[in-house]
Chain A
C-alpha cells in the first residue's frame, strides 16, 4: 500500500483514561474522502487528534505519508489582533508556502477581507480563515473536525468546492461532520462506542483491578 496517504490499523483511542473507540481500520488513498459519523461524545475528535499525532493511540498504528497532514480542530488557530493576510502569511512562512496566500484567500472568498483585523470577522468568516490556513499548508491529508460549524449555505458551498478541488488534485480528507457536503464518493465510517470486553481503561488500569 505504498500509495496510501494515511492508513490506520486496529486503532484504539482513549480520552481521560477512558477508552472510546477500538479496532478502527481504514486506508486513505489520493482522492479519498472519509466522513466520520457517530453520536456526540463517541470519540470523533479524539480519533482525529490521534490521527494527527497530538495524542498517542492506546493500541494500533497510524501511518502517514511523508508529505504529512494538516489538522483543523474546533478552534481556528486565528489570531484576533492580526489581519487576515497577516494570519495567513505567518502560516505560509511556517509551512514554506509564501506564494500560496492569494490563492488560499481567493478559494475561500476572503480576498476583500485581506486587511481586516481578525477580531472584526464574523464567526463564519473566521471559520473560512481557519480553513484557508489548512489549504495553505500544501499537505495532502486534511483532518477536519466539524469544519462547517457557523458557515452559512454559501460558505458551505465554497468549502465543498475547495474540498473537491483538493481531492481532485490528489489530496485526501477525513471529516467529522453532520452536513452533507455533496461528496457522493465519500466513504462513511460509522463510529460506535467501544465494547472493550475486559476493563474500561488501558492496560495499566487493568493492573489496578
Chain B
C-alpha cells in the first residue's frame, strides 16, 4: 500500500471520507483540551501574569504557519515532477490555512509582546520574518486567483512556491541580520518553551498536537472541495461539448 495511491482522486476522496469524522473529533479533543488546560488550569506566572498564556496559541500557530509552507513546497514539487493533481490541489488548499495561521501568529505575537515592549509592534526579527511569510502566502494565493486555466495556474504557482521558498529562507537570515542593530536580544524567543516549566509544557504539547490535527482536518476538507470543484468543471465542459 503505497502513499502514491492517494494521488488518485477517487481513492483520496474515499479514504478522507471515512477518516474525517475521526480526525475532527481528535482535533476537538486535543485542541479544546489543550487550550482549556493551558488557559484555565495552569497557575499564573510570577513576572508575566496571564498574558504569557497566549503562547498556547502563538507557538502552535507559528509552527503550523511555517510547516504549511513546507508542505506546500513538497506538494508543489510532487506536482511538477509527477503531475499528481491531488498534490497541487492540496497545496492550494493549505495556503489560506497557512496564511491565517501566520496572521494569528503575528497578532498573538504582538499581544504577547506588548507588555514587554510597551508597543503593539516592534520590528523584532521573528515577527518580521512572519510578516514576510504572510506576504509570500498572499502572492501565492493572488497568482492562483489570477490565472484561468487550472493546469497553467498549478504550474506557475508551483514555480512561485519553489523560488519563493529560496527567497523566504534567505529573507529569514537577512531579517535577523537587519534587526541586529535595533533590538539586541529582545526577541520573542520560542526557545522559551524549552525553559518553561513542565506545568506549562504539557498543555503546550497538547495544543501543538491540536493545531496539527486542525491543520490536517482543514486541509483535507479543503482539498476535497477543490477536487469536487474540478469534477464539476469537467462535467460542465462535457455538457457544453455535447450540446
Contact = CB atoms under 8 A, between A and B. Distances in A.
A201 interface: yes
Contacts of A204: 85
Interface stretch (B96-104, B113-121, B191-199, B230-238): B230-238
Given A207-B10, A208-B9, A200 B149 contact: no
- Interface residue SS majority, chain A: loop
A200 B241 contact: yes
Contacts of A200: 234, 237-238, 241-242
Interface string A178-209: 00000000000000010000011100110111
A17 B150 contact: yes
Contacts of B234: 17, 199-201, 205, 208-209
A17 B237 contact: yes
A209 B231 contact: yes
A16 B234 CA distance: 11
Nearest to A195: B241
Nearest to B148: A16
Interface in B1-54: 8-10
B34 to A, nearest CB: 37
Interface string B75-117: 0000000000100000000000000000000000000000000
B241 A17 contact: no
A18 interface: yes
Given A16-B149, A18-B240, A205-B230, 20 more contacts: A16-B148, A17-B149, A17-B150, A17-B233, A17-B234, A17-B237, A18-B241, A199-B238, A200-B237, A200-B241, A200-B242, A201-B238, A204-B85, A205-B234, A205-B237, A207-B10, A208-B227, A208-B230, A209-B231, A209-B235
10 contacts: A18-B240, A200-B238, A200-B242, A201-B234, A201-B238, A205-B234, A205-B237, A207-B8, A207-B10, A209-B231
Interface of B: 8-10, 85, 148-151, 227, 230-231, 233-235, 237-238, 240-242
